[in-house]
Amino acid sequence: MVFYNENNILIRNMTDQDVKIICEEEIKQGWEGVSESKYLKRLKDQKDGKAVSIVAEYYGNAAGYNNIYINSERGAFANQGYCEIVDFGVLVKYRNQGIGSKLMDIAEQIASGYSDTVYLGVGLHEGYGIAQRMYVKRGYVPDGSGVWYGSAKCVPYESYGNDDDLNLYFSKTLKPK
């Protein structure tokens, strides 16, 4: 399904063919821990009706992706009927072209068809700095539950690694379709 097609940006459902391309590009840009299994899980969840996985093409090249989980079972708003945005990314060579903003627009539009609130977890290390600022500019606010590591809230005064599993959850109220 095509969700958007203007200004050299096409946003559509993710396919099997996208997985290899995205992983190869992430490895080229030096991202650690890249694995096709993460994207194959997103595709399975899409097939099973748990998620909508989208890809942005820029001039015909896979440039970014986003996943919207319907009634997510994890995180600060688990099992409350809210959508969660998971694994949002734009390849470095395609940044500053409006791709990320359009992916988020479409993700929020999809989410608004299911609930009036969308949420996401954002990493705390500097690699997430651009995303942190973008979410705040888009109206996302911290949910108040504190810092999470993986699928659990962090225990105050305990030690945790500052890796991709250390997150703060944000939410945004959406206008229904």
| pLDDT by residue, tens only, the chain of 177 residues | 999 999 999 999 999 999 999 999 999 998 888 889 999 999 999 999 999 999 999 999 999 999 999 999 999 999 999 999 999 999 999 999 999 999 999 999 999 999 999 999 999 999 899 999 999 999 999 999 999 999 999 999 999 999 999 999 999 999 765
Residue position matching structure tokens 């409006």: 98
Please tell me the predicted confidence (pLDDT) of residue 175.
78
For residue 106, what is the domain's CATH number? 3.40.630.30
pTM over 0.95? The answer is: no
Between CA 4 and CA 11 the distance in angstroms is 5
State the DSSP string of 124-169: -SGGGHHHHHHHHHTT-EEEEEEEEETTEEPPTT-----STTEEEE
Cα 159 versus chain centre, distance: 26
Q: Which residue(s) pair with 84 in the sheet?
A: 69, 119
Between CA 153 and CA 136 the distance in angstroms is 21
What range does the domain containing 104 cover? Answer: 2-173
Report in angstroms the alpha-carbon separations of 152 from 2, 82, 119, 174: 35, 18, 16, 26
HSE value, Cβ hemisphere, 13 Å, CA-based, for 58: 17
Q: How many domains does the chain have?
A: 1
